[in-house]
C-alpha cells in the first residue's frame, strides 16, 4: 500500500480548484457533496460551473493561477489542460503543506480522488493510487450492484440507537453480538423495504425487553420476471440469496432458479391447467406456516406477483396470521416478452391503450369481456390463453375485429428457448398448433405486431421465428 486511505472532513472549509472545464466541474461537484466551501480559479469556466457560481454555491475568481491564491485552503485540485500550470500548482501547494491532487498526473499528487460508492453515511472509496482510474470505476460499478441503496438508512438508524445500545450492553463484545443479530434478522429487511417506523419499534421492543434479537420468520413475495435472470431486480436477487426455503412456481425459469441460495429448501407448487400440485388456499397456509416456524420464506413467482400471480390472495392470509412480509415487483410477462419479441405494446400510430387479459377465469371458463377486447387502436395481451386460443380468435372476429388483425404467440419469451409465431386472427390458432407451441406462452393481438419484422432484435440460440 503506497497511500493511506483516510476520510477528511471538509465541511465549510476552503477547497480551491484550479481550472474551469468539465473535469474541474466533476471535481467541484464531488467537493460540494462533502459540503466544502469551493473556490474555482480560472480565466473562463464552463456552463455548469457558471450556473453554480450564479446560484452562489461556489465562489469564482476570474484569473490566471498565482501561488498566493492557495492561502487558507485545506486542499487543492488542479484540473487545467496546461501541464506547466498544473506542475506549478502541485509545487506551490506542497510548499504550503496543502494536500494537492493533479488530475491524470499521479506523480504530482499528494492525494488521489477515489471512486466512490455512496450510501451516506456509509461511503466506500476505491483507489488505484492513480494508476488505473477506469479499473477503479469498474470495481465501483460491481459494488454498486451488490450493495442495496437502503444501507445508508440502516447506518442512520443504527446511529440513532447507538446510545441506547451502549446503555444496555456494557462491553464492546456484547454490543457487537447484538448488532450482528440485528444485521442478520428481519429488522434490517424492514428498513430495506421502507418500513422504517416498524424497524424502529422492533429495536425499541428488543432493547426495552432486554431480550436477544429473535430471528422471526418472514415471507418475501418476489417477482422472478419473465425468464431472463438479467431482468431480476437487485432486491429480488438479494432476497433469493438469503432465504431459508423457496416456494416456487412452474413459470419460474431454470436460469432464475439457479440464483436461489444453494442450501435453501425448495418446494415446488407449480400449476398446470387442471393439475395443481397444491390448491391456492393450501399454498397460502403453507407460506404462513413456514414463516411462523421462524423461516425466511421466498415465494418466487414468474413475472410480477400482482399481475395474474395471486399475490394479493397470499398476503391476505399472511396478514391474517400476523406474518411479516414484503413484496418485490418483477417485470411482468407482457413487458418483458413483448420487448424481446420486438413488439411494442403501445405506438402512437397503432395503439394508444393496452389491455391485459387472463385466458381462463377462476372456474376454468372462457367468458371474457369480448366487447372491451374488440375495441380499435389498442393492444390485447393474453396470459395463459394457449388452450382457448381458437375460441379467443373466433370470438374477437365475431365481435368485429378484422380477421386480418396481426397477432403473435411467444413461447418462453426472454429466454434462449424463445419461439415466436406471427399470423393473423384468422390463422393464428392453426399456425400455433402446427408449430406445437407449449406453455408458457403469451398472446399479443393488435396492429403493433406488424412492427416485429422491423424491430426484432433478440436472437435466441435456438432460432425461434416461425
| Matching residue, cell 394457449 | 386
Nearest to 377 by CA among 401, 409, 396: 401
Catalytic residue selected from 271, 289, 427, 431 = 271
Name residue, grid cell 393474453: 382
Give the span between the Cα atoms of 457 and 418, in whole angstroms: 13
Examine the residue annotation and report whether 244 is marked as an active-site residue of this protein. Answer: no
**CB within 8 A of 194, min separation 6: which ones?**
150
- What is d(CA 106, CA 3) in angstroms, rounded to the nearest whole number? 12
Set 249, 295, 301, 304: catalytic member: 249
* 458 close to 439: Cβ distance less than 8 angstroms: no
Q: Is there a catalytic annotation at residue 362? A: no
266 strand-pairing partners:
246
Strands 245-248 and 296-301, by their bridges, are parallel
Copy the grid coordinates of residue 366.
372462457
User: How far apart are alpha carbons 239 and 237 in whole angstroms?
Assistant: 6
Grid cell locating 171: 462491553
Question: Contact, 173 vs 307, CB < 8 A?
Answer: no
* Residues with catalytic roles: 249, 271
Amino acid at each position: 500500500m503506497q497511500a493511506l486511505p483516510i476520510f477528511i472532513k471538509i465541511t465549510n472549509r476552503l477547497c480551491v480548484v484550479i481550472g474551469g472545464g468539465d473535469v474541474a466541474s466533476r471535481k467541484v461537484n464531488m467537493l460540494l457533496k462533502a459540503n466544502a466551501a469551493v473556490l474555482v480559479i480560472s480565466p473562463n469556466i464552463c456552463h455548469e460551473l457558471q450556473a453554480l457560481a450564479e446560484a452562489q454555491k461556489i465562489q469564482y475568481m476570474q484569473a490566471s493561477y498565482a501561488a498566493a491564491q492557495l492561502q487558507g485552503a485545506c486542499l487543492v485540485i488542479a484540473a487545467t489542460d496546461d501541464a506547466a500550470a498544473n506542475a506549478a500548482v502541485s509545487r506551490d501547494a506542497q510548499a504550503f503543506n496543502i494536500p494537492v491532487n493533479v488530475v491524470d498526473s499521479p506523480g504530482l499528487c499528494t492525494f488521489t480522488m477515489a471512486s466512490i460508492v455512496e450510501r451516506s453515511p456509509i461511503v466506500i472509496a476505491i483507489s488505484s493510487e492513480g494508476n488505473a482510474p477506469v479499473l477503479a470505476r469498474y470495481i465501483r460499478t460491481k459494488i454498486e450492484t451488490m450493495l442495496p441503496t437502503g444501507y445508508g438508512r440502516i447506518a442512520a438508524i443504527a446511529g440513532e440507537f447507538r446510545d441506547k445500545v451502549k446503555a444496555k450492553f456494557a462491553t464492546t463484545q456484547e454490543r457487537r453480538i447484538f448488532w450482528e443479530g440485528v444485521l442478520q434478522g428481519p429488522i434490517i429487511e424492514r428498513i430495506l423495504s421502507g418500513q422504517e417506523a416498524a424497524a424502529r419499534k422492533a429495536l425499541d421492543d428488543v432493547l426495552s425487553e432486554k431480550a436477544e434479537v429473535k430471528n422471526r420468520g418472514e415471507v418475501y413475495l418476489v417477482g422472478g420476471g419473465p425468464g431472463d435472470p438479467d431482468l431480476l431486480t437487485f432486491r429480488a436477487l438479494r432476497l433469493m440469496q438469503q432465504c431459508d426455503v423457496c416456494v416456487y412456481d412452474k413459470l419460474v425459469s431454470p436460469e432464475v432458479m439457479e440464483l436461489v441460495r444453494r442450501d435453501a429448501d425448495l418446494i415446488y407448487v407449480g400449476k398446470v391447467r387442471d393439475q395443481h400440485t397444491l390448491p391456492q388456499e393450501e399454498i397460502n397456509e403453507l407460506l404462513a406456516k413456514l414463516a411462523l416456524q421462524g423461516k425466511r420464506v421466498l415465494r418466487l413467482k414468474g413475472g410480477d406477483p400482482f399481475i395474474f400471480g395471486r399475490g394479493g390472495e397470499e398476503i391476505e392470509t399472511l396478514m391474517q396470521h400476523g406474518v411479516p412480509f414484503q413484496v418485490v415487483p418483477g417485470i411482468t410477462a407482457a413487458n418483458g416478452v413483448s420487448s424481446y419479441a420486438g413488439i411494442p405494446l403501445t405506438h402512437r400510430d397503432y395503439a394508444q391503450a393496452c389491455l391485459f387479459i387472463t385466458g381462463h377465469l377462476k372456474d376454468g371458463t372462457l367468458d371474457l369481456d369480448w366487447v372491451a377486447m374488440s375495441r380499435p387502436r389498442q393492444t390485447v395481451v393474453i396470459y395463459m390463453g394457449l388452450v382457448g386460443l381458437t375460441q379467443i380468435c373466433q370470438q374477437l372476429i365475431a365481435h368485429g375485429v378484422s380477421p386480418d388483425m396481426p397477432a403473435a404467440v411467444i413461447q418462453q419469451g426472454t429466454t434462449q428457448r424463445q419461439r415466436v409465431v406471427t399470423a393473423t386472427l384468422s390463422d393464428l390458432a392453426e399456425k400455433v398448433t402446427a408449430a406445437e407451441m407449449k406453455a408458457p406462452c403469451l398472446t399479443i393481438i393488435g396492429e403493433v405486431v406488424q412492427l416485429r419484422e422491423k424491430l426484432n432484435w433478440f436472437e435466441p440460440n435456438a432460432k425461434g421465428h416461425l
